[in-house]
Chains A and B, each alone.
Chain A
């Protein structure tokens, strides 16, 4: 699904260059649930941007679902994002004063789907996340957990190759966070959805089957997590 080879990302800061990513190589297979973990400044956001095709690496190669992405121009990248990536953000990023259904329809709109097919698919995606009843509510009429579910439905509606979640529970209380993690695990286990979590929180990280740890722009470990936490298990004292 993902083949990354020597990914480097260098930012120009005034006169000096700062390396945010210093040669990361890894492969993620279809149907895996992987966490990319690291403290802030470790380069995980940069890596997430590249995986999500929001940015291109300075050097190195990146093949997503058989497509080489590293040299694509902006408009091609937008198309790839629309078709293959489903984003879930910490702050949900729903459009205000816009119903849940219309929020979920947004990626389809940009992908050129319209009419009944669009609303049917959006409705199904909302049903999958358990919000079939609240399709006409605006974000401000929904709880935080419900808003994140709408965001997940929006990410799923295009049947993306990768569900890419950036600190998806960061803005939620622990109980709601558990529900969201349950949803991710069920998408992975029951539907074979490839899920990539990006987090700094090791408890959240351990819900996944594989954990890639980043530090100072380098991958410091890439290990299989033999006993992933089942969502709902209380947070252990660390």
Chain B
């Protein structure tokens, strides 16, 4: 007996009960759509986060105060990173491209009537190089500005837009915490990285900051503090070497025994990226699994309906056997019915999932990545569900005794 015959029989049986077939299929459609949509959204999120982080460069190392021994531990004493630490590293650490200290604090920044709370960073000249910022208009903060404690500021692109709208900020005077600064430049846009907006910043010379802006908070034991030391290494492959060296130098600077825990933490983008990748991938798999469970429920729905259908059509099965149908022909007939439901449901679900992906894209939240592998996965999963949950009802139908089936009322 030809496959096409069985296929026709299956289609006829499904059409005979359109509502029921539709509802059964809906279980698979929703399951598959959820798998496709969630996995593509998950992958889109991963790609946008890792993409923007790797934009910052994989040869970056940053040093922050505090231990990195884990979230659970609270250090007994607060730990600090000093400007002198930066000076030590700047003089003695080999293999560096550039290095910069940063001290960051949030202030109200005003121009005319517009006022915004923006992160203000005190920086040295190298800051732009290390963090891959470029000047769009005007000039950057130089060592000369630091030496003279000049009250100048460079605005991030978003900060400039927020404060000035379409006006040209260069040459204008803004007030940071009520202290006047002259805008000398605006940075090129970098794009959001998901965690913080690198365009919503104001840069000022670090020395100016210590002298006029940051106040007593920015020093400890009369030594100026920094929030972070960032550096880029010449050779990304040798980054671990540089980090070991930096740790050795800072341990000496902080007078720590080799056995003592360090009171600063070193991190590089590459490690961070790897960790983040694992996290987001776990997240994607988790989302996919949750969606997979709904697909499983859909499969159970199929099995339920097929069992009902076999019972309802017992007499038909008896007749088919009486006129010469083999066991296997009955098995195939019912299996094809389930497969039609699950495959058609799978295809519709994939389309719906892609549709959801496009809706998410148009909301502008993020760009989902619909990967052929996800579609293939969802498709084969729904096929497998159809086979798995279809085989038992079909087996029951095939093994009905012809006489009992014919007599069934």
Contact = CB atoms under 8 A, between A and B. Distances in A.
Interface of A: 49, 52, 54-55, 74-75, 78-79, 81-83, 85, 87, 89, 93, 95-98, 106-107, 109-112, 114, 154, 158
B274 interface: no
B326 A110 contact: yes
Given A78-B327, A95-B316, A109 B403 contact: no
Contact of A78 (B2, B318, B325): B325
Interface in B283-340: 315-316, 318-329
A107 B326 CA distance: 11
16 contacts: A49-B403, A54-B402, A75-B326, A81-B321, A82-B323, A87-B322, A87-B323, A93-B319, A93-B406, A95-B316, A107-B324, A109-B1, A110-B323, A110-B325, A110-B329, A112-B1
A54 B322 contact: yes
Contacts of B1: 109-110, 112
A78 B326 contact: yes
A11 B12 CA distance: 38
Interface of B: 1-2, 5, 12, 16, 315-316, 318-329, 401-403, 406
A54 B403 contact: yes
B103 to A, nearest CB: 81
A5 to B, nearest CB: 22
B328 to A, nearest CB: 8
Contact of B323 (A55, A74, A97, A107): A107
A52 B16 CA distance: 31
Given A97-B12, A109-B1, A55 B403 contact: yes
Interchain residue pairs A-B with the least CB separation, the first 5:
A82-B324, A107-B323, A110-B324, A93-B319, A54-B402
Nearest to A83: B324
B311 to A, nearest CB: 16
Contact of A95 (B319, B321, B402): B319
A111 B318 CA distance: 16
Contacts of B329: 110
Nearest to A81: B324
Contacts of B2: 114
A106 B316 contact: no
B17 to A, nearest CB: 10
B12 A98 contact: yes
Contacts of A107: 323-324
Contacts of B319: 89, 93, 95
A93 B315 contact: yes
B324 A78 contact: yes
A97 B18 CA distance: 13
A98 B5 CA distance: 13
A75 B402 CA distance: 12
Nearest to A166: B406
A154 B315 CA distance: 16
Given A75-B327, A78-B325, A110 B16 contact: no
Contacts of B406: 54, 89, 93
A158 B326 CA distance: 16
B327 A154 contact: no
A81 B323 contact: yes
A141 to B, nearest CB: 16
A110 B320 contact: yes
Among B319, B320, B401, find the residue whose CB has the most chain A CB atoms closer than 10 A: B319
Contacts of A49: 403
A54 B407 CA distance: 12
A173 B243 CA distance: 100
Given A89-B406, A109-B5, A114-B2, A96 B16 contact: yes
A212 B321 CA distance: 27
A154 B324 contact: no
A81 B318 CA distance: 12
A74 B400 CA distance: 11
Given A54-B322, A110-B1, A74 B327 contact: yes
A82 B5 CA distance: 17
A10 B268 CA distance: 83
Nearest to A98: B12
Contacts of B12: 97-98
Contacts of B16: 96-97
